[in-house]
Amino acid sequence: MTLPVRRLRLGVLFTALLGGAALAADHPEAVAGRSADALAHDIFKQLIEINTTDSVGNITTAAQALAQRFLAAGFPAADVLVAGPEERKKNLVVRLHGSGGQRPVLLIGHLDVVEARSEDWSTDPFKLIEKDGYFYGRGTLDMKSGDAIMAAALLRLKQEGYRGTRDLILALTADEENGCCNGVEWLTRNHRDLIDAEFVLNHDGLVGYSITSEHGVPEEFALSATEKMYADYQLAVTNRGGHSSLPRPDNAIYQLAQGLLRISQYSFPFELNEITRAYFERMAGARSGQVAADMRAITRSPADAQAIARLALEPELNSLMRTTCVATRLDGGHANNALPQRAQAVVNCRILPGHSKEEVRKELMQVVNDPQIAVRYLTEDGALADTAPEQRSLPPSPLLPQVLGPLQNTVAALWPGLPVVPFMNAGATDGIFTRAAGLPTYGVAGIAVDRGDVRAHGRDERVRVSSFYRGNEFFYRYLKAITAP
Amino acid sequence: MRTSTRAGAAARLLMAACCLACAACAAAADATSTSNALARELLAQLTAINTTDSERGNVTTAAEAMAQRLRTAGFPAEDVRVLGPSERKKNLIVRLRGTGAHKPVLLIGHLDVVEARREDWSTDPFQLVEKDGELYGRGTLDMKGPDAIMLASLIRLRQEGFRPTRDIILALTADEEGGSANGVQWLVQHHRELVDAQFVLSGDDYSVLLVKGKPLYFKLVASEKVYADFQLQVTNKGGHSSVPVADNAIYTLTRGLDRLAAYQFPFELNAVTREYYRRLAQIESGQRAADMRAILSNPPDRQALERLSADPVERSITHTTCVATRLDAGHANNALPQRARAVVNCRILPGHSPEEVRQQLVQVLADPAIAVNYQASDGTLTDHAPAVRGFAPPPLLPEMLDPLDQLVAATWPGLKVIPNMSAGASDATHTSAAGLSTYTFSPLSVDPSDDREHGRDERISVASFYQANEFFYRYLRTLTAR
């Protein structure tokens, strides 16, 4: 499948266009939009102020609060379900029925947030604070904004008496950030009937946003259609040690250092998939000069090696064209005056779709090229295993026209000229579970975040007020577009 | 308990060996066995007093206990002093007065020991336990064993009414292993008159090196390398590990460490290490002996040096060494490291300063992104290291060396005294700094491959302890008879 290539310039010209996209203030839709904004804000505030951390939070409380809203809005009780295997971690599943002309769409978002200590923050992380044009609070980006937007969209459609061609199922879930197994994974394994769909929209596109902006000016809309797979490995060297006054040639730290240097010099093979190929083809239109030429050159067959090498100098682009592994931690020795008996490193890998963790472990062993450096798989709970799982990561979801077409139209209406680029997420989301269940999954969110201001998981997490409301309008429109007769 | 009978038997055996042809054999043997019993009693008493730096330890208690012993043995109260800057860390100084024909000799030993945890040991580390011909306990080797021997020798000389040609001063001190009240440093700085001497003998190293149970040579430490830690640090803005960037703190550090691993400091000999190789060449044979001679020639034979330096021991004697001993980097598996650090431990040849070595490290690492800071013993970091040069080795005084040569030859026929440079640091640093020539030896026999100093189940053999006790007494007597 190919994508229509946009060749619009980004930047100044673009800012001018944005103004034209605003709705006239007295337009009936604008009035509805304002009350829709108020509704989204109310839900957003309510969610932020319910602590849903893994430690002391309660997801069930958030799920039930939203369920109450849906019931009050006239959703039949049979279509509003709060379910889960653990008392504190229940999920909400709501269905807005369509005509049934087409199969349903599943919308997913997680209700849980990562921990936040108020002493680290400038504001109370569990209060929604509006300040200087931003909403602050834990989850404002990742991803209670998205949860509120999706819930508000469904409520708005219901209120309008809208009947689309497909059922819209919304699942707001537990345990994406931390904890295990109570959220999307549990639903796909135990309640497939409740969430079965033709495809899935995950509002957790990158981390709660899809639009990258610079000083508030959107530059690209990333349609996340695939994910890299996360894996940690431990490299360890042991040695008999000894007194540091008598250094020997065999030294655990030096041996490890040499292995790490070989990893630092190694590049995993260049490889494109349907999504990243489309990404480079489209971005070639948005960039200029050598970069644009190189992007075209790497999408041809055979790919131009020099173009690959030049583009790989940009870390973001490099991460899209190959599996990456990087040393992130070191630990060695036990006393300043003793030769190290042990030196170890953590190497973090992001694996391209279609490859397995064990395949990468073996590759690392080859690169390190020293049988005395043990390369072990490090599981999520920190346990070590001699081998890694053999299972290959899932291939990208196909770029379905029924997803992409309406997306391009909706984006064009709200942000004229903004290129929609298929994207591979280097991080991991709940999309792995829906893809594993055979459901094509796409990360889509109308929220924009400035490059370099992604505060998900960090302190003073925030989202632009204007971007939240525009994202709210976007999602409502996009849902209509994919369910339009 | 069979302990005492066994000890007695061992002592008698030893006496029989050394006094076979002696007319006054019985009397000497009695004196020897009395002294051995005393030395062992002192060692048991010292071992049972915890003198670690931790709150459980108290060096003053040990100093007072030994002072009591000395007074009981007839030392006048004014010649037995217990003093120090800290209530818990007092030092003992005792003086056996001589004729004054020569300047005094100062004997030094530290009373403090490194920590020992009962659960790590097979026996209680703070009890002297004899098992299979070995004496177990924290400090038996480092260095309550040598302390007990020095005390017993002094008491024996006193009780014999021996009048040495020079005063013999013994200082048993605090905080050699750690802590902030180093006794020797405090004494030379604040009570120089109490410890002033022509030269210093430290008992803080065993001397008879055993290889497969046979003595190889008698080590006389006459010079020390200077100990210095440096911290290498690389900082970076970090980032998300899903998008690795070229500039990575860990890789920058490891490239530096790789260059360090390949680097060797210049070859250099001094008076002590020259003598070490000259004498060792007579013991060694074949290629090794030839190589030792070849590196003494001028210019030294490069290939011989290369072959010798492949042995970590010879390499450490001929070069300043620096080696990475610790690593630490990163804060999360899924984040690019914001900081990577290594500790590099250096042993610096006499005549060079830590700052000189720091600057050399900066050159070797050849990357301004790697900060090289000096790490003091309390962990503080400074961007400059001390500029003080390690002390040049003292001359090998004949009045000290000759009696040692003779006594070693008499005790272990064929065994040679080999002057040596220690790669570690001891209290000799402080006496050397005070301008006092310092020589370190303790006539204990230890197999270096089973050296348990600072480790678990520290021990010395009973036979070696008694042999060393007799040896040291005789050495002191010979040294101060002329």
Are residues A33 and A114 part of one domain?
yes
Tell me the chain B residues in contact with residue A325 when contact means C-beta distances shorter than 8 Å.
244
Are residues A402 and A381 part of one domain?
no
Bigger pLDDT: B276 vs A120? B276
Q: Identify the H or E element spanning A310.
A: helix A305-311
Tell me the chain B residues in contact with residue A212 when contact means C-beta distances shorter than 8 Å.
none
Which of A350, A385, A420 is the last residue before a domain boundary? A385
Q: Is A339 on the interface with B (CB under 8 A)?
A: yes
Cross-chain residue pair A329–B330, CB shorter than 8 Å: yes
Are residues A169 and A191 part of one domain?
yes
Q: Identify the H or E element spanning B438.
A: strand B437-446
Domain of A335 in residue numbering reads as: 228-385
| Candidates A232, A246, A260; nearest CB to B251 | A260
Which of A334, A356, A385 is the last residue before a domain boundary? A385
Tell me the chain A residues in contact with residue B142 when contact means C-beta distances shorter than 8 Å.
none
For the cut 80, the answer to whether the pLDDT of residue B22 exceeds it is no
397-426 in chain A: CB under 8 A from chain B: 426
Please report which confidence band the pLDDT of residue B16 belongs to, taking 50, 70 and 90 as the band edges: very low
Q: Identify the H or E element spanning A192.
A: helix A192-195
Give the list of residues 6+ apart from residue A408 with CB closer than 8 angstroms, or none: A4, A420
Please report which confidence band the pLDDT of residue B26 belongs to, taking 50, 70 and 90 as the band edges: confident
Buried/exposed code over B212-241 (b: 16+ C-beta within 10 A; e: otherwise): eeebbbbbbbbbbbbbbbbbbbbebebbbb
Are residues A56 and A36 part of one domain?
yes
216-235 in chain B: CB under 8 A from chain A: 225, 227, 229
The pLDDT, as a whole number, for residue A27 is: 60
| Residue A87 within any structural domain of the chain | yes
Tell me the chain B residues in contact with residue A246 when contact means C-beta distances shorter than 8 Å.
312-313, 315-316, 321, 423
Are residues A294 and A176 part of one domain?
no
Interface probe, candidates B231, B250, B260, B377, chain A, greatest A C-beta count within 10 A: B250
249-278 in chain B: CB under 8 A from chain A: 250-251, 253-255, 257-258, 261
The pLDDT, as a whole number, for residue B4 is: 35
Q: Which residue of A has its CA nearest to B349?
A: A245
Per-block mean pLDDT, blocks of 10 residues, chain A (485 long):
28 32 53 84 98 94 98 97 95 96 97 89 96 97 97 97 97 87 92 96 91 93 94 95 89 98 97 95 91 97 96 94 97 90 96 97 98 96 94 91 97 96 90 93 96 85 97 98 94
Interface probe, candidates A206, A239, A243, A429, chain B, greatest B C-beta count within 10 A: A243
Which sign does the torsion angle of CA A342, A345, A346, A349 carry? negative
* Other Cβ atoms closer than 10 A to A163: 13
Cross-chain residue pair B258–A254, CB shorter than 8 Å: yes
Nearest C-alpha neighbor of B71 from the set B44, B99, B89, B95: B95
| Residue A61 within any structural domain of the chain | yes
Cross-chain residue pair A244–B345, CB shorter than 8 Å: yes
Q: Exposed (0-12), middle (13-18) or buried (19+): which is A476, by Cβ within 10 Å?
A: buried
| Residue A466 within any structural domain of the chain | yes
Q: If you average pLDDT over every residue of chain B, what do you get?
A: 92
Tell me the chain A residues in contact with residue B321 when contact means C-beta distances shorter than 8 Å.
245-247
| Residue A5 within any structural domain of the chain | no
Tell me the chain B residues in contact with residue A256 when contact means C-beta distances shorter than 8 Å.
254, 327
Helix axes B144-159, B462-479, angle to 10 degrees: 50
Average pLDDT over residues B122-138: 97
Are residues A195 and A294 part of one domain?
no
Are residues A263 and A133 part of one domain?
no
For the cut 80, the answer to whether the pLDDT of residue B153 exceeds it is yes
356-395 in chain A: CB under 8 A from chain B: 378
DSSP 8-state class, residue B98: -
Q: Which residue of B has its CA nearest to A381?
A: B333
Q: Is A7 on the interface with B (CB under 8 A)?
A: no
- For the segment(s) B226-382, the CATH number from 3.30.70.360, 3.40.50.720, 3.30.360.10, 3.30.1370.60 is 3.30.70.360
Tell me the chain A residues in contact with residue B329 when contact means C-beta distances shorter than 8 Å.
327, 329-331
| Candidates A253, A260, A261; nearest CB to B324 | A253
Q: Quote the tokens at residue A47.
A: 């969610």
113-132 in chain B: CB under 8 A from chain A: none
The pLDDT, as a whole number, for residue A22 is: 44
Please report which confidence band the pLDDT of residue B329 belongs to, taking 50, 70 and 90 as the band edges: very high
Nearest C-alpha neighbor of B126 from the set B245, B45, B186, B42: B45
The pLDDT, as a whole number, for residue A10 is: 31
The pLDDT, as a whole number, for residue B29 is: 85
Q: Which residue of B has its CA nearest to A339?
A: B325
Cross-chain residue pair B326–A232, CB shorter than 8 Å: no
Question: What is the CATH classification number for the domain harbouring A437?
Answer: 3.40.630.10
Q: Quote the tokens at residue B388.
A: 């003080």
In Å, how far from its chain's centre is CA B297? 30
**Cis, bond preceding B143 (omega within 30 deg of 0):** yes
The pLDDT, as a whole number, for residue B292 is: 97
Are residues A187 and A269 part of one domain?
no
Whole-number Å distance between alpha carbons of A445 and A209 = 5
Please report which confidence band the pLDDT of residue B341 belongs to, taking 50, 70 and 90 as the band edges: very high
Whole-number Å distance between alpha carbons of A104 and A165 = 8
Average pLDDT over residues B299-304: 96
CA–CA–CA angle A138, A143, A147 (5° rounding): 120
Tell me the chain A residues in contact with residue B324 when contact means C-beta distances shorter than 8 Å.
251, 253-254, 257, 332-333, 340
Interface probe, candidates B325, B331, B343, B452, chain A, greatest A C-beta count within 10 A: B325
Whole-number Å distance between alpha carbons of A172 and A43 = 13
Q: Is A451 on the interface with B (CB under 8 A)?
A: no
Instruction: Provide the residue ranges of all domains of chain B, joining segments of one domain with +.
Output: 3-225+394-479, 226-382
Are residues A399 and A341 part of one domain?
no
Per-residue CA distances from B145 to A289, A300, B115, B235 (Å) = 80, 79, 17, 48
Q: Is A309 on the interface with B (CB under 8 A)?
A: no
Cross-chain residue pair A251–B343, CB shorter than 8 Å: no
Cross-chain residue pair A326–B246, CB shorter than 8 Å: no
Cross-chain residue pair B323–A251, CB shorter than 8 Å: yes
Q: How many helices (H) and strands (E) does chain A have?
A: 15, 20
Look at strands B371-375 and B226-235 and give their pairing. antiparallel
Cross-chain residue pair A330–B423, CB shorter than 8 Å: no
Give the number of domains in chain A. Answer: 2
Are residues A90 and A28 part of one domain?
yes
Phi and psi angles of residue A284, each rounded to the nearest 5 degrees, phi first:
-55, -30
Residue indicated by tokens 């971007």: A467
The pLDDT, as a whole number, for residue A3 is: 27
Confirm if A397 and A423 have CB atoms less than 8 A apart.
Answer: no
Cross-chain residue pair B312–A232, CB shorter than 8 Å: no
Mean pLDDT comparison of A456-460, B29-33, B343-347, B428-432, highest-scoring range:
B343-347
Q: How many Cα atoms within 13 Å fall on the side-chain side of residue A483?
A: 29
Q: Which residue of A has its CA nearest to B334?
A: A348
Q: Is A89 on the interface with B (CB under 8 A)?
A: no
Whole-number Å distance between alpha carbons of A217 and A145 = 20
Length of chain A: 485
Tell me the chain B residues in contact with residue A343 when contact means C-beta distances shorter than 8 Å.
327
Q: Which residue of B has its CA nearest to A332?
A: B327
Q: Which fold has domain B3-225+394-479?
A: Aminopeptidase (3.40.630)
Question: What is the CATH classification number for the domain harbouring A250?
Answer: 3.30.70.360
Are residues A180 and A267 part of one domain?
no
- List, as one string, the DSSP characters of A329-356: EEEE-S-TTEE-SEEEEEEEEEEPTT-B
Q: Tell me the three state secondary structure of residue A80.
A: strand
Are residues A381 and A339 part of one domain?
yes
Q: Is B329 on the interface with A (CB under 8 A)?
A: yes
The pLDDT, as a whole number, for residue A13 is: 29
Q: Exposed (0-12), middle (13-18) or buried (19+): which is A24, by Cβ within 10 Å?
A: exposed
Which of A385, A418, A439 is the last residue before a domain boundary? A385
DSSP 8-state class, residue A9: P
Per-residue CA distances from A161 to A73, A75, A155, A157, A166 (Å) = 11, 11, 10, 6, 14
The pLDDT, as a whole number, for residue B451 is: 85
| Residue A6 within any structural domain of the chain | no
Q: Quote the tokens at residue A152.
A: 């508000």
Q: Quote the tokens at residue B380.
A: 């503080």
The pLDDT, as a whole number, for residue B28 is: 82
* Other Cβ atoms closer than 10 A to B158: 18
Average pLDDT over residues B52-81: 96
